[in-house]
Each structure stands twice: as C-alpha cells, then as structure tokens.
Amino acid sequence: MSSPAPVVWTSSGAVAGAWREHRSSDGDVSRAAIFLGIPYAEPPVGPRRFLAPTPRAPWEGVRPALLHGPTPQRRSPYGPDPYVPEPSIPGDDLLTLDVGTPDPSPDAGLPVLVYIHGGGFIGGSHASPWYGGQAFHRDGVVTVAATYRLGFDGFGWIDGAPLNRGVLDWIAALDWVQQNIRAFGGDPARVTIAGQSAGGAAVMRLLTMPAARGLFSGVLALSPADMPVTVDDARRLTEEAAARLGVAPDLEGLRSLTEAQILAEQERAGEEPDDPLPTMLERSGLVLGPVIDGELVPGTVAEGIAAGIGDDVPLLIGATAHEFDLAVGDAAARLDGVSAEAALARMRIEDDLATALITRSPRQDAFGVVGHAVTDITFRRFVALWAGQRATAGGSPRTWAYDFRWTGGADGLAVHCLDLPFGFDILREPTAMRRAGAEAPQELADAVHGDWLAFIRDGRVVAPVHADARSTIVYGEPLREIRPGYAAEEAFALGTGAAPVPAPATT
C-alpha cells in the first residue's frame, strides 16, 4: 500500500507534496517528501510589478505542491542547449520555492541547504534536475530551491521603485525558510545558503549584507564573482531604454511596457560590441545585477569582509580551474593571427599581469590565453581575495577554499559548472553524463559531495582552514589533496605584484 501524500502546514496554509524514491550509485533506495511551487510571496504582477515582495496571503484548504512554479526566466539567454538544463516555465506566480525533505516532521531537526541558481542574473532556473537534491535527502538534509526576479525585473533602476528587487526576493525567501522550515523537518538554526556563478555571487552578497544577518548559518560559494553595478550605471541603462521606447523611466512609464518589450531591451543591452576585447572584463560582462545603493547593498563584497560583516559565518568557497577558458564568445573570431600578448593588451591588461597570465594559461595561443585570463580575473581572483581577506581579518577562522581541477569531462578542461554534478552527486543524470562523461569517477563525487555534506551538517570541512599556509582542497587526480592554492590569483587580487607564478601542477 502506498503512503499517504505528505502534508505540511506553512504560515500561509497547508501544502500537499509527494513521496519520491531515489536510487543511489551503490543501489541503495531512499525516499523523500517533495513539495514544489510553494509561494513565498504574492505574484509580482499588476500593481505589485516592480515593487518589493509582499508576504503571501493565507489560502484555504490544502494546496497541491506537485509542480514547479513559473520561472522568472522566460527563455534561456544561453540558447537551446545550455550547459546546465534549466527549464523555463510560464506563469505569473513567480516567487515560489521547492522543498525536499527526508523527514517532514517538526521535531526532525535536520540541516538545511538553500540553493540560489546562477545564470548571470538574467537567466537560470530553480527547476533544473541538477538542483533536485536527491543525494542530500538521502544523507539527511532538507533542501530548498527558490526563484527570484531576474534581469530588469529584478535589478533595473526605476524612478519610484525600490532598487535590488531580486535581492529583496532572496531575503524574503530566507525569511520564509526561517518561519517555515521546521514544519518540513529542518532546523532554522542550521541553514546553509549555496549558489554557483551568479548564485555564488548572490550568497557572497548576502554574507556581507547587514540586512541578511541571522537568516543563515553557513555559506557555500561556488565560482562566485563580484559583479557590482553602480546606481549611475543602472539609471543610465533605464533612461536610455525608456527613451528608445518613448516612455518615462518611472513606474507608470515602465509598467506600460509589456514583458516582451522589456526582455527585448534587456537582450539589446547585453549584446557584445563589435570588438568585445576592450570591455570583456568590465562588470564580468554583465549589465544587470545587484546595485550598490549604499543601503540594502552597501558596498562591494570585499568592502563588507573588510568591515567584518559576516566574519562569524563559516564559508566554503572555490572555483574550477578553467571556468571560462572556452567562453570567449564573439571575441574568438577576432583572435585569428593575433598574438596572446596583443590580445591581452587589447583587453587593457598591463604587461606584468599579462606575462603572468600567459605563463599560467594551459594553452599559449590567443584564444586559450584570453579565455584563461577571463577565468582568473573574473572568478578565481575573487576566491583568492575573499578567502585571503577572511583568513587575515581576525574574525572566524572557519574559511575553507577548494580548487576543482578534474579535466576528464567532455570539454577536456575543468570548465564552469563541471563541479556541480559532483557536488550534487548526480553523475547518472542524463545531462550530467553528457557533460562529465559516462566514466566520471563516482569516487570524486563522493569526495566533493562529502565535503559539501560535512559543511552543511557541521559548518566545517575535514581540512585545514585557508589561513593555514593558504591551504586549499584540490579535487582532481588524485581525487582530493590539500596543498597551497590560489597564490598567483591572490597576488593579482590584492595588488601585491603580478610577477609570473608557475601554474599549479595539474592533478
């Protein structure tokens, strides 16, 4: 006889989910209660469009929670086959979350993982099969994956509207978790927030925001970067778009535009210039994202760490070895016959740093060097900077750094997002198999997932903290070892010199 559907009472009403079984790589079967599409705020449409999130009004009866809610991503900006499968789901009820739990009883006291998806703040989806969390449920963790407003809807400047609406959505979702996760078996005092790429930037932003204090107890930042937008830049983008569309840059004017019109302008703003090299490193190529407003988002992540904000919260942070080595976009056509030195000069990189970047690049042609420069400067130097700052700031010593260097996947490099199937322990998922390969070592997934799990459960990893000789967990071949890491990137980030530093030996 099948079990009755799991029902949980939230602050807005009851939700009914479903039991789902999961077979692990060793054949063991576990089950979890899955609740999809639970609203954490009112739909941000009509009179609520472009405003701060509003808590969800109570509903009557038991609400089915069997389908993912609509996604703020209306269509993927990364083409029909993005690296991570992240579906677009139509609808207006945009602010929802999914919860998975191995034990939906209020006294279970399980650790909680809240995952914020990436996508450059303009795309991505919480509904990816990569983020389902089945391995975490098997291991006694409650998972939450939340939507948040993207692009102009979440981060555009509008006269008369609050800035950083997407950031306010993160906070609203975390508030919901604090109020409700106990009913799903979670412990609100043991909430780890995690995210990758833009999601990694999001959790680092939350770590250093006073407004987010007390909403989580640990941060897992995967391939984060600092992508701040100034108020002036955000205002200028809106004013130029509004002028093209013939409306005022205020609430009334922008609400008169359809979603399709705004999405078209957003895509226009993101188009690469004829020669993308000179601006390739500006704001990591993003035009929309969290805006430094001096209030909700008071400054850069580095400034927040320097001020001691969040220094008592454990942090596990890292990147892949070749994040964007293959992602130079339209610049590739302009690199034929160009030397690596000339390409970096066009990117406005000074000679001493250029020499170091060329020395470190696994390829010496312009395409390879430019890609690896973007990897180092956009992602890896921020890991080095922030981990180094935390290690010397005098606050909590609980900072761990990792370096994912396994190159056995389809691309032959440790590219952006390749660590996700290992951390989520989903190597048999069809798309993950295509990216990581059918022979991807389960032992490596056990190592990466095991470290994530230990951090989520206990707020620590079985490894020296980064303050100890810049100790770094290196994943590759051998599967896991501890050695100094990020030395060269830290030199770049801290401005302590850019003398050529030999690349770490590939493992």
pLDDT tens, residue by residue, 55-65: 999 999 999 99
86 noted as active-site residue? no
- 505: pLDDT strictly greater than 70: no
Instruction: Say which of 323, 429, 489, 490 is annotated catalytic.
Output: 323
Q: Is the peptide bond before 162 cis (omega within 30 degrees of 0)?
A: no
CA 477 to chain centre: 26
- Our answer to whether residue 125 is catalytic in this structure is no
Q: What is the pLDDT of residue 93?
A: 98
Is residue 496 very low, low, confident or very high in pLDDT (cuts 50, 70, 90)? very low
Residues 158-170 pLDDT 10s: 999 999 999 999 9
Strand partners, 159: 250
CATH 3.40.50.10470 correct for 10-494:
no
Q: Which of 12, 76, 125, 197 is catalytic?
A: 197
Specify the range with the lowest mean pLDDT, choosing from 24-28, 87-91, 136-140, 251-255. Answer: 24-28
Greatest Cα pair distance in the chain: 71
Task: Tell me whether strands 315-320 and 480-484 are parallel, antiparallel or unpaired.
Answer: unpaired
Instruction: Report pLDDT digits (tens) over 38-80.
Output: 999 999 999 999 999 999 999 999 999 999 999 999 888 887 8
- The pLDDT confidence band at residue 493, using thresholds 50, 70 and 90, is low
DSSP reduced 3-state for 380 = helix
Domain boundaries, the chain: 10-494
pLDDT grade for 281, boundaries at 50, 70 and 90: low
Q: State the pLDDT confidence band at 487, using cuts at 50, 70 and 90.
A: low
Radius of gyration of the chain (CA): 22
Give the model's pLDDT for residue 498.
33
Which of 68, 372, 416, 449 is the catalytic position? 416
Give me the pLDDT at residue 268, please. 85
Residue 197 among the catalytic residues: yes
Please name which of 271, 263, 265 lies closest in space to residue 245, comparing C-alpha atoms. Answer: 265
Confidence of residue 279 (pLDDT cuts 50, 70, 90): low
Q: What is the pLDDT of residue 503?
A: 34
Q: Among 199-208, 258-267, 343-352, 376-385, whose mean pLDDT is lowest?
A: 343-352
The pLDDT assigned to 374 comes to 87
pLDDT of 272 > 70? The answer is no
